Amino acid sequence: APALEVRDLTKTYATGVQALKGVSLQVEPGDFFALLGPNGAGKSTLIGILSSLVNASSGEVQIFGRSVHRDRGGAMQLIGLVPQELNFNQFECPFDICVNQAGFYGIPRRIACERAEKYLRQLSLWEKKDVAARTLSGGMKRRLMIARAMMNEPRLLILDEPTAGVDIEIRRSMWKFVSEINRAGTTVILTTHYLEEAEQLCRNIAIIDKGNIIENTSMKQLLAKL
């Protein structure tokens, strides 16, 4: 099964805004996929539906063959989500933040501790494992969000505008880490409104505008066209 299959997805908010107008797309296992579009295009709405935070109005979403509607729990086990905002407890330390996240998935404590070590090391946060998260640099906080999202060892990692408002240095270091995660076998989808960002990293891309997919191609083909 594809890592992600979206068919004829629509979302109309209670306000009457049609955020998605019939979106279809497919992401293959192992891909590094960009969803590019301007503000208001529907990116966050789509990510919200993929991660079960938003209900679709119609259409179908499957994660590795599991329907987000009919098998929500099963689909969610396969996803790691890195939201835009830093939403961890700033007074907790990275180690506890990761271990507690594993607790949500019912992962036994011994395994949770092993994984916390693995991912905090991988994201160069191990030496900061015991300090309050609020004392971390901006880049470290972003990396902590990624480490936490890896605690259930997701097959699909979704990052919603992961570099919004961060400087070029932090951005580069984040990409290094996310690329490593992708190379280790995790499918990655990120949203962005910078083509240059997608260009550096992603193999395939969909462009969304006003709730419609207006392009869905390989990065190579897109760049050849521009």
| Residues in touch with ligand ADP (CB under 6 A) | 13, 15, 17, 19, 37, 39-45, 84
For ligand ADP, which is the closer residue by CB, 45 or 152? Answer: 45
- Give kind and range of the element (H or E) at residue 206: strand 204-209
Please report how close the Cβ of residue 208 comes to ligand ADP at its closest, in angstroms: 7
Residues near 216 by Cβ (< 8 Å), separated by ≥ 6? 25, 204, 205, 206, 207
Please report how close the Cβ of residue 155 comes to ligand ADP at its closest, in angstroms: 24
Distance CA(145)–CA(158), nearest Å, equals: 11
Please report how close the Cβ of residue 29 comes to ligand ADP at its closest, in angstroms: 25
Strand partners, 143: none
For ligand ADP, which is the closer residue by CB, 24 or 100? Answer: 24
- Give kind and range of the element (H or E) at residue 180: helix 168-183
Q: Which residue in 182, 157, 194 sits closest to 35, CA to CA?
A: 194
For ligand ADP, which is the closer residue by CB, 139 or 211? Answer: 211
For ligand ADP, which is the closer residue by CB, 36 or 219? Answer: 36
For ligand ADP, which is the closer residue by CB, 39 or 87? Answer: 39
Tokens 């991912």 locate to 119
Please report how close the Cβ of residue 13 comes to ligand ADP at its closest, in angstroms: 3
Please report how close the Cβ of residue 211 comes to ligand ADP at its closest, in angstroms: 7
Number of residues assigned to the chain: 226
Nearest-5° Cα angle at 152, 186 to 183: 15
